[in-house]
């Protein structure tokens, strides 16, 4: 029965080679199949034209290839593309293609729903249903790369793990997916073009540093005052800023890679001098830059974007200490593709 068959992409190259040897075939057959599965993105064993009919039949007797299906694709008036991606078990995640004049960025999901509980984020309302497999993350990137070539005439240039889910709560699968994306046996993309964004899980940030990863790190900070952060991101009660700070210092000490802080300024929450001073102080601990993200309302009315004036006050204060701060305007708002809006509205 189909259900009992293993997804062949859960096997490493070594395991595939061993599989062929234990079935009285040559180990290099494993390399061929691996290439079909990853760099050529085959969806069916019958696509593997350099294998005999018997070999293909033997593979489909033993395995399935679970691949994603782009159910619906919406295109925003600003060129942003949002894919609703159906997984083999029927669940849906979303990924986004964000074009600018010089590049195209894929924003991919790492979990179905999210393990965390940020009050301002639509994905958090879904709760975590399951982690994505490495191949499911990889396939989102492949799908967006294809769309980038089709609509913008060039391959995908960057990837951000800023879709649904908390990447560091699906650590192993995210790392495996990035290994494939950066491997010459996969997409051969430079890790410098990949950013993993976390709400800030100190233990896992330290693990990234120990694992000597080469991609960039972004942290969704939103406040440098514990009491405020506890309120808007309740899970942080277990990860206070002192611990986050320590993990970021460790990250920088090990990787020498600057951190990006993502920060939304909300009316009556963090649009005050105390919050600005706290952020400036926090930014001095580790080399960093700040992205001030525009708030995308999520239908509950609790949070409101702060005034232009308050945002300018942040920029002025940060810049006076030599900290680079940029305002990130939302993209794809009309199709609910902007930060924090991914929640399968039509699923
Ligand atoms: N869990 C990870 C990855 C998700 S990234 C993380 O939190 O970093 C999504 C980014 O959008 C995060 O910076 C998040 O804080 C931000 N975000 C969430 N809801 C938002 C909203 N409604 N408007 C603007 N940004 C939002």
The packing angle between helices 202-210 and 241-255, to 10°, is 10
Sign of CA dihedral 245, 160, 82, 6: negative
236 lines ligand 1 (CB under 6 A): no
pLDDT digits (tens), the chain, 347 positions: 445 799 999 999 999 999 999 999 999 999 999 999 999 999 999 999 999 999 999 999 999 999 999 999 999 999 999 999 999 999 999 999 999 989 999 999 999 999 999 999 988 888 899 999 999 999 999 999 999 999 999 999 999 999 999 999 999 999 999 999 999 999 999 999 999 999 999 999 999 999 999 999 999 999 999 999 999 999 999 999 999 999 999 999 999 999 999 999 999 999 999 999 999 999 999 999 999 999 998 877 789 999 999 999 999 999 999 999 999 888 888 888 777 777 756 44
Ligand 1 and 94: CB distance under 6 A: no
* Residue 263 three-state SS: strand
Closest CA to 149 of 88, 213, 106, 183: 106
Secondary structure class of 169 (helix, strand, coil): helix
Q: How far apart are CA 277 and CA 267, in angstroms?
A: 17
**What distance in angstroms lies between residue 338's CA and the mean position of ligand 1's atoms?**
9
295 lines ligand 1 (CB under 6 A): yes
Q: How far out from the chain centre does Cα 284 lie?
A: 27
Spatial distance between the Cα atoms of 109 and 132, rounded to a whole number of angstroms: 8
CA of 121 to the centre of ligand 1 (A): 6
CA distance 145 to 206: 31
Where exactly does CATH 3.20.20.70 map onto the chain? 69-335
- The answer to whether 64 touches 90, Cβ cutoff 8 Å, is no
**In angstroms, what is the span from residue 162 Cα to ligand 1's centroid?**
7
Query: Which residues, 6 or more positions from 125, have their beta carbon under 8 angstroms from its beta carbon?
Result: 298, 343
C-alpha torsion 172→173→177→180, nearest 10: 60
131 annotated binding-site participant:
no
Range list for CATH 1.10.150.530 in the chain: 6-64
Is the CB of 110 within 6 Å of ligand 1? Answer: no
| Cα of 276 from ligand 1 centre, angstroms | 20
**Is 101 a known ligand-binding residue?**
no
Report how far ligand 1's centroid is from the alpha carbon of 339 (Å): 5
CATH class of segment(s) 69-335: alpha beta
C-alpha 54: how far from its chain's center?
Answer: 39
Ligand 1 atom nearest to CA at 297: 22
Q: Does ligand 1 lie within 6 Å of residue 174's CB atom? A: no
Cβ contact 341:86 at 8 Å: no
> Catalytic residue numbers?
94, 339
195 CB within 6 A, ligand 1: no
What whole-number distance in Å separates Cα of residue 110 and Cα of residue 197? 11
pLDDT digits (tens, 9 = 90+) for 208-233: 999 999 999 999 999 999 999 999 99
pLDDT, tens digit (0-9, with 9 covering 90-100), for 62-99: 999 999 999 999 999 999 999 999 999 999 999 999 99
d(CA 97, CA 169): 23
3-class DSSP state for residue 111?
Answer: strand
CATH class of 6-64: mainly alpha
**pTM recorded for the entire structure:** 0.95
Cβ–ligand 1 distance for 169 under 6 Å, the answer no
- Is position 39 annotated in a ligand binding site? no
What does the pLDDT read at residue 226?
98
221 is in an annotated binding site: yes
Nearest protein Cα to ligand 1, atom 21: 340
CB neighbours (10 Å) of residue 38? Answer: 20
- Distance, in Å, from the CA atom of 128 to the CA atom of 165, rounded to the nearest integer, reads 8
Q: Could you tell me which residues are beta bridge partners of residue 69? A: 86
* Tokens read off for 16: 């595939």
Owner of token pair 């990949």: 194
Q: Is 52 annotated as a binding residue?
A: no
């Amino acid at each position: 029965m189909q259900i009992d068959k293993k997804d062949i992409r859960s096997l490493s190259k070594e395991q595939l080679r061993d599989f062929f040897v234990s079935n009285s075939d040559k180990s290099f057959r494993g390399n061929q199949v691996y290439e079909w599965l990853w760099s050529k993105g085959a969806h069916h064993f019958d696509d593997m034209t350099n294998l005999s009919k018997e070999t293909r039949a033997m593979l489909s007797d033993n395995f399935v290839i679970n691949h994603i299906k782009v159910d619906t694709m919406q295109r925003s008036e600003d060129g942003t593309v949002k894919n609703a991606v159906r997984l083999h078990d029927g669940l849906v995640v979303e990924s986004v293609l964000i074009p600018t004049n010089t590049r195209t960025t894929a924003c991919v999901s790492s979990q179905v729903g999210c393990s965390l509980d940020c009050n301002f984020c639509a994905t958090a309302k879904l709760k975590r249903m399951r982690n994505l497999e490495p191949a499911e993350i990889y396939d989102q990137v492949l799908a967006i790369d294809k769309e980038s070539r089709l609509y913008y005439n060039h391959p995908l240039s960057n990837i951000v793990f800023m879709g649904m889910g908390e990447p560091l709560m699906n650590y192993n699968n995210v790392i495996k997916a990035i290994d494939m994306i950066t491997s010459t046996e996969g997409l051969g993309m430079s890790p410098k073009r990949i950013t993993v964004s976390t709400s800030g899980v100190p233990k896992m940030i330290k693990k990234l540093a120990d694992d000597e990863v080469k991609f960039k790190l972004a942290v969704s900070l939103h406040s440098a005052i514990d009491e405020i952060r506890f309120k808007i991101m309740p899970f942080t009660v277990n990860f206070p800023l002192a611990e986050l700070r320590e993990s970021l210092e460790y990250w920088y000490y090990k990787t020498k890679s600057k951190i990006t802080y993502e920060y939304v300024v909300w009316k009556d929450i963090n649009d005050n001098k105390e919050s600005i001073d706290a952020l400036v102080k926090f930014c001095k601990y580790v080399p960093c830059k700040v992205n001030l993200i525009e708030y995308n309302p999520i239908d509950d009315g609790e949070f409101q974007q702060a005034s232009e004036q308050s945002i300018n006050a942040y920029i002025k204060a940060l810049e006076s200490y030599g900290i680079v701060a940029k305002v990130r305007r939302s993209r794809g708002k009309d199709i609910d593709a902007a930060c924090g809006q991914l929640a399968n509205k039509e699923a």
